[in-house]
Homo-oligomer: A and B are copies of this chain.
């Protein structure tokens, strides 16, 4: 079974087996993390880099006034924080939302790999570039969209990302997203999320299944409703660009 990190990196382009092995070779150990536990904490030095093998986590930032903003949800294949490797203290926290299996990485070895192996550093570069795309999408969502479309948009993104990491692609979300989490993602209050979600439910776009799991009933329908660009996150490097560089498709 392939690690979701390798799946992710290969989604952007070619990655040789040797490079993949070298990356996986940095794994110091696998660790099980319980929901609510933090993998890194804002203001603390970053001790280790990790990536997620299974489960969901969140990257979030707490403000002096007590409020919290979730910057991004982390799904299998997402890496903890590269910035932590070059900065002294974390500017945000990462906390497990479900039980998590993470691979912890030997940082010096990892840095050496990055600086010495162009195949690996460029693969990571493209991966970070995609992550940037996710953040940009989030900015647009929060900055210029109504509560209703924000929520629809986020759900669509999560459904898609879950599928990219090998999860179900039928509209189910495998995690119980509380109103508080959704609110802190979208810059709204839990109360307003509750109301907005009810609207989407009454409109027949979304359903709540056992154990509070959300399900998008018809992805295409919701996408139309939410002005959602279905090309988003379809970031395979297209063949004509690979050709330009004289290499075959991945």
Residues of B within 8 A of A122 (CB): 114-115, 121
A218 in contact (CB, < 8 A): no
How far apart are the CA atoms of A145 and B142 in the complex, in Å? 12
Contact status A129-B231, CB under 8 Å: no
Total interface residues on A, using CB and 8 Å? Answer: 62
Stretch at the interface among A20-28, A205-213, A234-242: A234-242
Residues of B within 8 A of A135 (CB): 132, 135-136, 139
Q: Is the CB of B112 within 8 A of A144?
A: no
Q: Are B118 and A114 in contact (CB under 8 A)?
A: yes
Query: Which B residues touch A235, using CB under 8 A?
Result: 83, 86-87
Q: Is A180 an interface residue (CB 8 A)?
A: no
CA of A232 to CA of B43, assembled, Å: 12
Dominant SS at the A interface?
helix
**Interchain CB contact (< 8 A) of A69 among B88, B108, B139:** B139
Of the 9-residue stretches A33-41, A57-65, A93-101, A166-174, which lies at the interface with chain B?
Answer: A57-65
Q: Does A71 contact B (CB under 8 A)?
A: yes
A125 engages B132 (CB within 8 Å): no
Interchain CB contact under 8 A, A129 and B128: yes
Indicate whether A143 reaches chain B with its CB closer than 8 angstroms: yes
In the complex, what residues of B have CB within 8 A of residue A140's CB?
61, 63, 69, 71
- Name the B residues within 8 Å of A118 (CB-CB): 114-118, 120-121
Minimum C-beta distance from A119 to chain B (A): 7
- Chain B residues with CB below 8 A from A138, complex form: 139
CB distance from A79 to the nearest CB of B (A): 11
Contact A83 B144 (CB under 8 A): no
The answer on a CB contact under 8 Å between B119 and A115 is yes
A111 and B245 in contact, given A118-B116, A133-B91 (Cβ under 8 angstroms): yes
Interface residues of chain A, those whose CB is within 8 Å of chain B, are 12-13, 61, 63-65, 67-69, 71, 82-83, 85-89, 91-92, 107-108, 111-112, 114-122, 124-126, 128-133, 135-136, 138-140, 142-145, 186-187, 227, 229, 231-232, 235, 237-238, 241, 244-245
